[in-house]
A and B are shown apart, each in its own frame.
Chain A
Amino acid sequence: MSALKDRVTWVWLALLAVTFGSWMLGGSGDATFATAASILMLSFFKVRLIVTHFMEVREAPLGLRLACDAWIALTLAALLWTYA
Chain B
Amino acid sequence: MRTEDLIAQLSRDLAPVRRGAAERRLAAGAGLGAVISLIVLLLWFGFRPDLVPAAMTAMFWIKLAYPLSLAAAAFLLLDRLGRPAGRGGALWWSLAVSVVIAAGMGVVQLAMAPAADRMGLWLGHSALQCPFRILALAAPVFLGLVWAFRRLAPTRLTLAGFFAGVMAGATAATVYALACTEGAPAFLATWYTLGIAGAGVIGGLLGSRLLRW
Do A and B actually bind? no
User: Which B residues form the contact surface with A (CB < 8 A)?
Assistant: none
